[in-house]
Chain A
Amino acid sequence: MSVFESEKAAAEALGRLITELWEQESVRAGLCDSGLTVLFRHTKPDCPVFLSADGVVTGDEALRPASHTLKLTSSTAHALWLGEIPVASALTGGRVTIFGRMAAVPDLMNILGPAFQLYPKIAADLKIAG
């Protein structure tokens, strides 16, 4: 059973996370310098979010080519950004699949790092139970 009851609920949390992430100067600079773009392809419920140096796109419009696609369920994203599951085990266990040039993944994870600080506050604010 998903942490999120609906696509709207997932978008409120995960879309807000990626938007707050983009609002960070270091994240925009990292994306700009590296040229990386990310499609977070959340499923169950569906909640695609596209992130680039230019901004954040949610909904069906987000389904566009990206340098890297992270495929994961919305519940896994919730647990991942709360720090409840280690990134390495999420990857080796296939709960998160990354498509894109693997050599750029360390840089990408560095850019996305602030999400671990941002999301617990968002989850608490939205009163999302794990």
Chain B
Amino acid sequence: MTTFAPSAELNFDVLPAEVEKYRDTIREFAQNVILPRAVTNDQAAHDEMDWDMVQQGHDLGLMRMGIPTQFGGLGLGALGASVVMEELAAADPGAALIFGGSGLAQAPILYSGDPHLQARYLPLFTGDKPVLACNAVTEELVGMDLIVPDNAIHARSMTTARREGDHYVLNGRKRFITNAPVATFASVPANMEGHPGSTGLTYFIVDLDQPGVTRGPVADKMGYRTALGGELVFDNAVVPAENVIGGELGGWNLNIAQSNMCRVTCAAIATGIARHALEKAITWCGERIQGGKPLYKHQFTAGKLARMTASVDAARLLYLHAANKADNQMPAPEYEPAVAKLIADRTAIDVADAAASLIGARGFVRDYGMEKVLRDAYGPRIYEGTPEALSILITEGIYRTEDED
């Protein structure tokens, strides 16, 4: 794409000073607070929440990273949020998801540009106590049908909304929603009655402690167990008209815009998981002596470590590139974040698999934490676009002509 705007200076070795400083703060928090309790949190009951950790993260500003400074936030862009997500995920991606999930709920409000919604909901994240939120998109029969625009007409059994005077009435069920069991409010896309599939998509802010809203059971997940996921059921839930985000029928635009933006941070989370696995492998292969020399001196092991390192570096460069694009283009581009996520998702799985292989029996025993990393590695390829969905978006980007932009 041709643009006459000067491209931002690209230096992936030197982050902006304020980003680097905050990254270092979060790295310390992640390594000293999150990591030591990661295995314990993983093995706790699936409906337990480490509120102490959440509070400490909140105190450091993790709930308000992306909120503009005029609303009391840190005003971090995609680059800042991404490097922070890598740090959190390198300790425990479940922790990254708790804070990231709340940010995801803020995104439609930020994108809407609605000063009233922004003034009402964004300050919630700047108080003394942590407030969690969620972006409730996925449903039993609807996932990719809310990511690929051509699928909209085929969406089935969507949560519905109908206007009644000065309010809307929502009915339906959202599933697999991060933070749903503990969120104060949710950003909810629902389909306006009378519109086929999901073609009438409209976004609402829904307070979750109100009549007509029920929280379903907490999901017992394979990974990311530090974050709680679950269901939200809307049974004639009444939502005031002023809680519509981006206007009636504006849901698709919002959904696409925020998905493109947040795939950058998803790629960073996957990179963090891969980095964690790599770090474990490097430590082990440096200490473990076999055949009279450390494992990394053995050629076959060296080959694995080299490929793992190169893969993590490549994943990081791709997400930094995508973040730079997202910080310099509105709406955020579709192509670069999708490419970054596609590669990072695979990298997390491949590097975790290789690390588990190198570490051997200790990689198979729960107390060492490696098998947790292995389980967590399968998470990123599910949310915000599976490899299959991303491949469609990327391919469409390849064939899209300038005239269609």
Contacts and interface: CB of A to CB of B under 8 A. Distances in A.
Contact of A92 (B4, B250, B326, B327): B250
Interface of B: 3-6, 8, 68, 75, 77, 111-114, 246-247, 250, 253-254, 256-257, 326-331, 405
Binding site of B, secondary structure by majority: helix, strand, loop or mixed?
Answer: loop
Contact of A89 (B8, B68, B77, B253): B253
A39 B246 CA distance: 27
Given A88-B112, A103-B75, A39 B330 contact: no
Nearest to A86: B247
A106 B330 CA distance: 12
23 contacts: A39-B5, A66-B5, A67-B5, A67-B6, A68-B5, A71-B3, A88-B246, A89-B247, A91-B111, A91-B257, A92-B257, A93-B250, A93-B253, A93-B331, A97-B329, A97-B405, A99-B3, A99-B329, A100-B328, A101-B8, A102-B326, A102-B330, A106-B68
A60 B68 CA distance: 37
A100 B253 contact: no
A65 B113 CA distance: 27
Interface of A: 39, 41, 63-69, 71, 86-89, 91-94, 97-103, 105-106
A89 B246 contact: yes
Q: Among B114, B250, B256, B331, which residue has the most Cβ atoms of chain A within 10 A?
A: B331
B330 A91 contact: yes
B331 to A, nearest CB: 6
A99 B253 CA distance: 18
Contacts of B254: 92
Contacts of A63: 4
Contacts, number: 76
A88 B253 CA distance: 10
Given A64-B4, A65-B5, A69-B4, 6 more contacts: A41-B4, A65-B4, A86-B247, A92-B250, A92-B253, A92-B256
Nearest to B3: A99
A89 B246 CA distance: 7
B42 to A, nearest CB: 36
A79 B328 CA distance: 25
A114 B257 CA distance: 27
A99 B326 CA distance: 10
Contacts of A68: 5
A41 B68 CA distance: 28
Contacts of B331: 91-94, 97
A106 B253 CA distance: 20
Contacts of B326: 102
Nearest to A98: B330
A100 B75 CA distance: 17
Contacts of B6: 65-67
Contact of B329 (A39, A88, A93, A98): A98
Q: Among B4, B328, B329, which residue has the most Cβ atoms of chain A within 10 A?
A: B4
B327 A103 contact: yes
B247 to A, nearest CB: 6
Nearest to B257: A92
Nearest to A44: B403
Contacts of A101: 8, 327-328
Nearest to B334: A94
A41 B77 CA distance: 25
Q: Among A63, A87, A102, which residue has the most Cβ atoms of chain B within 10 A?
A: A102
Contacts of B68: 106
Contacts of A98: 329-330
Contacts of B329: 97-99, 102
Contact of A69 (B3, B246, B257): B3
A88 B246 CA distance: 7
